[in-house]
Structure 1
Amino acid sequence: MNVEAKQSTQPHLFARQPHSVLERISFWAFLVGGLAGLAGTLAIAIASGALSRDLVITTVSTLASAIILAIGFRWSPLVSALLGGYNLYLVSVEPYVVESLIHPKTDPQGGFAHFVGVVIITAIAIIAFGGSVGAAVQNYRQGNWQSRQAPRWLPAALSLVVGLVMGAIFIGAITQETVAAGTTYTNGVPTVHMGAGSFLQTSVTITKGSKLMLLDDVAALHILDNGSWQNGTPKTASESGAPRVNNLQINGGSTEIGPFSVAGTYHIYCAVHQGMNLTIIVQ
């Protein structure tokens, strides 16, 4: 009789159960994070002219996690924890996120406000993942699956995340970034840095006979051609005296263009990111 009673209290695979405190926290974290990710994806697509694959995947999986938790199956927190861990990985390698963390004040995607948003969204992702892991452990470790109280460590964990967010924002606010004036050089070669969706300077002046190094700071894909964006439309151009740049792909690292043997003004653009233009003045 006791064995039968114990067996009857165990839920079947698709049995729904009341949401624990950790599940509710994770649900709201995933929902807020997913909606914020959707807004960020649309904003970046409008600004750069291209969707970020990692941001799209992160947004979809985040919203899916919220839906799975809302259904309330016993295994829902386990699935959402797996998705939440994958989301954290995508956030850590997303070029727009990395660029904002490296340049909290000079990030071309929105400066310090974008940095604050990135820090908050990252904290929400951590809360969603941690809450899902804790809820999954509760569901599968406690003898009585219907009794899942808020753990004693929850207030301390939330306080730690809030403290980290405030500390990161404070450090970002007091950081003094040095903006290079004029042309910078790498081993004697004039260098232009590229961010997630832009050249970090829109023009560069070099001497005749020099090469130009393009350095991708955050491992974002760029496809470069001769020409420029004009009124939202890419215009490929064959400029007399300019080194040929045709479908040149860079995804991290650096590349050299040239030498520029003829004095003049030349243009290079990125076909992936709308408005990403570079003017090269050769003297």
Structure 2
Amino acid sequence: MKKLCVILVLLSLLSILIVACEGDSVGSGSDSANTVHTNDLIFLKDQIIIKKGESITVINDSAVLHVIANGTWKDGIQEALKERGAPAGLTLQGKETKIIGPFNTTGVFHLYCTIHPNMNLTVTVQ
């Protein structure tokens, strides 16, 4: 009986160790390499590289509204752009996911939130 208790304790400890070593998967879910998350004020990654014809998925993890447009913030000032092949304006409500694209032109595209200073995303299409 004592052996059985020791074995059960060791198996429990081993199970805990295995689960602890799996790492943090919060936010990764079914995200692809073409996924960008936002919080209240920023894109959580400020650049992404995709292939021609692909789209990006933008996930708003906050309850805050974002208005995404072609352009950039420079020194706290909005600079609207009209890059050929860049997507037009997009409203991203709180806790909403939207797909931007497809990007059918190669090049570098600049997206920004018109509401939140310095919230920039650079999309490189290869």
Band the TM-score falls in, shorter-chain normalisation: 0.7 to 0.9
d(CA) in 1 for partners of 2:29, 2:111: 19
Partner of residue 213 from structure 1, selected from 51, 57, 82: 57
| Counterpart Cα distance in 2 of 1:185 and 1:258 | 22
Partner of 1:196: 40
Which residue of the partner structure matches residue 223 of structure 1?
Answer: 67
Q: For each residue in 1:27-60, what CA deviation from the matched residue of structure 2 results, as whole angstroms up to 9, or x when unmatched? A: xxxxxxxxxxxxxxxxxxxxxxxxxxxxxxxxxx
> Quick one: which of 118, 123, 126 aligns to 1:280?
123
Q: TM-score, normalised by structure 1?
A: 0.34
Point out the structure with the larger helix share. 1
- Mapped to 2, the partners of 1:178 and 1:280 lie a distance apart of 25
State the one-letter code of the partner of 2:98. T
- 1:177 Cα deviation (Å)? 5.4
Q: 1:186 and 1:276 mapped to 2: Cα distance?
A: 24
Q: Do the aligned partners of 1:226 and 1:268 also contact (CA within 8 Å) in 2?
A: yes
Supply the AA of the counterpart residue of 2:69: D
How many angstroms does 1:280 deviate by? 0.3
2:61–2:94 Cα contact (<8 Å) kept: no
- How far apart are the structure 1 equivalents of 2:33 and 2:114? 25
After TM superposition, give the deviation of residue 196 of structure 1 in Å: 1.2
Please give the TM-score of this superposition, normalised by the length of structure 2: 0.72
1:236 matched to 2:42? no
Which one has a bigger Cα radius of gyration?
1
Higher strand fraction (1 or 2):
2
RMSD: 2.6
Residue aligned with 2:96, SS? strand
Give the number of equivalent residue pairs: 104
Gaps of 5+ in 1: 1-175
Question: Residue 266 of structure 1 aligns with which residue?
Answer: 109
Where does structure 2 lack aligned partners over 5 or more consecutive residues?
1-22
* C-alpha contact (below 8 Å) 1:221/1:251 kept by paired residues: yes
Is the Cα–Cα contact under 8 Å of residues 67 and 115 in structure 2 kept in the other structure?
A: yes
SS of structure 2 residue aligned to 1:252:
coil
CA contact (8 A) 2:59 2:96 kept: yes
Letter in 2 for 1:271: T
